[in-house]
């Protein structure tokens, strides 16, 4: 019987580095899954926080967000959602935009958009959470 060796078109260097065809390995995949799982938990907490604010006067809503635990949950939710949003759009752009220049521009715009949205949300939460807004 002939010796059946498994052959691969991957170079020895590629085998050692352990990266896939995209050159990024599984990091992107796992970050999407991790942020997705974190979003499931954090967004339940977010909905509970919003429900507690419903119908309350502005000073009470500000006082709720000023609670350190609530502020931390909101901050974590914003960071997790922003990362997940950026990764998801990156996947769509990489799959469907084929022109190299347009792909680069779209990926850059995607990153800037995610950062701006996250920064605006984080600023608002920190400003209220640290007592920067008077009732």
CATH code where residue 81 lies: 1.20.1300.10
Decide: pTM greater than 0.75: yes
Residue 40 belongs to some domain of the structure:
yes
User: What's the structural domain count of the chain?
Assistant: 1
Residue 19 belongs to some domain of the structure:
no
- Yes or no: say if 117 and 51 are a contact pair by the CB < 8 Å rule: no
Q: What range does the domain containing 104 cover?
A: 26-129
Phi/psi at 2 (nearest 5 deg)?
-75, 150
pLDDT at residue 6, as a whole number? 66
More confident residue, 17 or 45: 45
pLDDT, tens digit (0-9, with 9 covering 90-100), for 57-111:
989 989 999 999 999 999 999 999 999 999 999 999 999 999 999 999 999 999 9
Residue 7 belongs to some domain of the structure:
no
Q: Give the separation between CA 106 and CA 22, rounded to whole angstroms.
A: 18
Residue 50 belongs to some domain of the structure:
yes
């Amino acid at each position: 019987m002939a010796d059946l060796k498994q052959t691969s078109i991957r170079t020895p260097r590629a085998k050692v580095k352990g990266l896939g065809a995209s050159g990024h390995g599984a990091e992107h995949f796992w970050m999407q899954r991790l942020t997705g799982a974190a979003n499931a938990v954090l967004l339940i907490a977010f909905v509970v926080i919003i429900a507690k604010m419903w119908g309350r006067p502005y000073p009470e809503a500000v006082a709720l967000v000023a609670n350190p635990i609530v502020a931390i949950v909101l901050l974590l939710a914003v960071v997790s959602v922003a990362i997940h949003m950026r990764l998801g759009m990156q996947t769509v752009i990489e799959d469907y935009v084929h022109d190299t220049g347009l792909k680069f521009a779209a990926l850059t715009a995607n990153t800037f958009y995610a950062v701006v949205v996250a920064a605006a949300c984080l600023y608002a939460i920190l400003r209220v959470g640290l007592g920067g807004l008077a009732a």
